[in-house]
């Protein structure tokens, strides 16, 4: 059951969002990477969950994984620059994008002490071992 890993995101509904997106697409002002659309896959491997998040262009030092109680927060901040110069060294086009990404997961059914993380080729992989299931203790009470 995937109840132990529930993503929480905050989004607002904008009735005119379709028009804003059309304008961005039409004038090609949309950045080539959208930090809000970090794609995440979660696989149940039986004894653990494996979370894979695409974070291309981020340095390992820009990614933070914080655990606070029963919640794991994945965050990253990014600054990228693209510069085009002509033969005289003057800018023809200069684009900069700054942003941050944050996603929160409920890990109440995860052994938080045993979580392991690896970042390789733009993919962050988290091994999230499940807590061992414990059978309820059965005992007989003595009648006095």
Give every strand in the sheet of 71-85, ordered side by side. 7-8, 91-106, 71-85, 63-68
pLDDT digits 0-9 by tens, 14-59: 555 555 555 555 444 444 444 455 789 999 999 999 999 998 878 8
- Report DSSP state, residue 21: H
pLDDT digits 0-9 by tens, 81-94: 555 566 666 766 66
Query: Nearest-CA neighbor of 112 among 123, 96, 128?
Result: 128
With H, G, I as helix, E, B as strand and everything else as coil, classify residue 114: helix
Range in 14-18, 56-60, 64-68, 102-106 with the lowest mean pLDDT: 14-18
Its CATH architecture, for the domain 2-10+35-129, is Sandwich (2.60)
With H, G, I as helix, E, B as strand and everything else as coil, classify residue 23: helix
Contacts of 37 (CB under 8 A, 6+ apart): none
> For 102, what's the count of Cα atoms within 13 Å in the CB-facing half-sphere?
7
Q: Give the residue extent of every domain in the chain.
A: 2-10+35-129
Q: How many CB atoms lie within 10 A of CB 55?
A: 21
**Does pLDDT of 98 surpass 50?**
yes
Q: Per the structure block, which two tokens stand in for 102?
A: 């944050």
């Amino acid at each position: 059951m995937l109840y132990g890993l529930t993503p929480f995101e905050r989004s607002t509904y904008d009735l005119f969002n379709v028009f804003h997106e059309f304008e961005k697409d039409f004038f090609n002002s949309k950045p080539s990477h959208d930090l809000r659309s970090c794609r995440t896959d979660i696989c149940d491997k039986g004894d653990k969950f494996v979370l894979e998040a695409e974070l291309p262009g981020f340095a390992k030092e820009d990614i933070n994984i914080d655990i606070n109680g029963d919640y794991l927060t994945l965050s990253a901040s990014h600054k990228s620059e693209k510069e085009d110069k002509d033969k005289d060294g003057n800018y023809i086009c200069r684009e900069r994008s700054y942003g941050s990404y944050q996603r929160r997961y409920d890990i109440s059914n995860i052994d938080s002490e045993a979580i392991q993380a690896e970042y390789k080729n733009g993919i962050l992989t988290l091994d999230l071992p499940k807590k061992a299931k414990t059978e309820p203790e059965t005992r007989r009470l003595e009648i006095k």
